[in-house]
Amino acid sequence: MRMEDLDRPRVVAGSAEGILSDLRWLGLDWDEGGHAGGPFPPYQQSERMAWYAAAFGKLRTAGLVYPCFCSRKDIQSAASAPQAPGDEVFYPGTCRDLARAEVERRIASGAPPAWRFRVDPAGVVPFIDRVRGCYEAESGSIGDFVVRRADGVPAYQLAVVVDDIAMNITEVVRGEDLLASTVRQLLLYASFGAAPPEFAHVPLLLGGDGVRLSKRHRGVTLRDFRDAGQSAEAIVGRLAHRHGLRETDAPIAARELIEGFDLARLST
């Protein structure tokens, strides 16, 4: 159980305990992290800043990152590639080859830069996904991505790779909306000389508008269902059925799905 709480201004007081409470209620537990402790503390990203700073320093020393002074508005107006919903805006490389004198001038003028990972525009990143099979992406399709924000906060892509390496993570199961993030993260694993974990990207439950469930869909959170009197077993049963793990949507406890579980059975 790792809390990814780097964006401190957006952290709502009590939200972490709320998440843990909802997961316990649903029947999901964990052997490491959170109150369980473990061999690789701390398990809150906000307490791991020294690890991220050291990793960023390695990237900078190796010449794998460069400063970027573009605002999000600048990038959106200049980007030429269409974006998938929820994905990062494609960066066209505006600051990629700025002269050192220009970089120093902008920093001296009070404009702190973000730092982007320098992606090979002609590269190809292949990997085997345990749900989708062989997957391959042209690295140039994702653009140079941020590893440290202008306010000095490490970006998600860097932090999660540093943590996974430090915590000996061997398997990652997550939503298929993060496929593009996996490509970015594989490039970072390679830059640190670390073996990546195995990945499995599972289908998302969508709203009536065909978009992944989020805050804009009212009444669909675990807490909403819980407060409405639905049982955890009923929710697990419906989700297991939709994912192809059971023939019916009859209620079942999460623990009862462990025996015989196989990622190959998941509906794609």
Catalytically annotated residues = 215
What contacts 133, CB < 8 A, 6 or more positions away? none
Helices (H), the chain: 15-26, 49-61, 72-78, 100-108, 156-166, 179-191, 222-227, 232-242
CA-nearest of 48, 41, 40 to 5 is 48
CB 25 within 8 A of CB 226: yes
Rounded distance, CA 94 to CA 75, Å?
8
Rounded to 10 degrees, what is the CA torsion of 121, 123, 128, 129?
0
Q: Are strands 171-175 and 198-202 parallel, antiparallel or unpaired?
A: parallel
Rounded distance, CA 94 to CA 110, Å?
19
For residue 154, what are the β-bridge partners?
148
47-79 as b/e: b if 16+ CB within 10 A: ebeebbeebbeebeeeebbbbbbbeeeebeeee
DSSP helix/strand/coil, 118: coil
Angle at 110 between CA 105 and CA 113, to 5 degrees: 80
